[in-house]
Amino acid sequence: MRFVPTAIPGVWAIEQERRVDDRGFFARTWCGQELADRGLEARLAQCSVSFNHRRWTLRGLHYQAPPFAEVKIVRCSRGALYDVAVDLRPGSPTFRRWIGVELSAETGRALYVPRGFAHGFLTLADATEVSYQISAPYHPEAARGVRYDDPFFGITWPGPVEAIAPRDRDYTDTSVEHLQELRGL
């Protein structure tokens, strides 16, 4: 695995080192030791998958409130998507900044999203499947989110949002009360 730093410290693109032969290829997609060697979270508590029928489907931007904040490694196993991580840590020098990375089954690239970040994506192809490796169990009572078009963050998406869950569409603009809760991230 190759770890490529992004413009936001702590967020990494993880590229596969494919071993190619006449059958196809083999590549490692997760290695606890390689993560730990870089000071990254190596705990794996849960794996999840998301399937999206249509191009321009948006999921997110989600995070878990403290003390249940989680690390995610997100990979596209079918199709393509634009993956976004938003820094929600008020004391961080990159607070409110976001990074967008195209992930596809073709490239095998993944995104490491640390604690304190909201995560979401927009599909770029029909029948897109996304797999997640997550450091902590899901706690529904801690599930939170910020709206994909909240002007507080100013995310530029590469296309129109045509399918979105009501919950994701209806998050309110970021407020002072919201920022107080984020202090624990």
- Would you please indicate which residues are annotated as catalytic (active-site) residues? 62, 132
Q: Are strands 163-164 and 57-64 parallel, antiparallel or unpaired?
A: parallel
Number of H helices, E strands in the chain: 3, 14
**What does the block give as tokens for 59?**
């999921």
Please state whether the peptide bond connecting residue 67 to the residue before it is cis, i.e. omega within 30 degrees of 0.
yes
How far are the Cα atoms of 27, 68, 119, 152 from residue 98, in angstroms, in the given order?
28, 21, 10, 11
Closest CA relative to residue 13, chosen from 89, 73, 71: 73
Contact 103, 111 (CB under 8 A): yes
**What does the block give as tokens for 34?**
């390689």
| Cβ neighbours of 66 (radius 10 Å) | 14
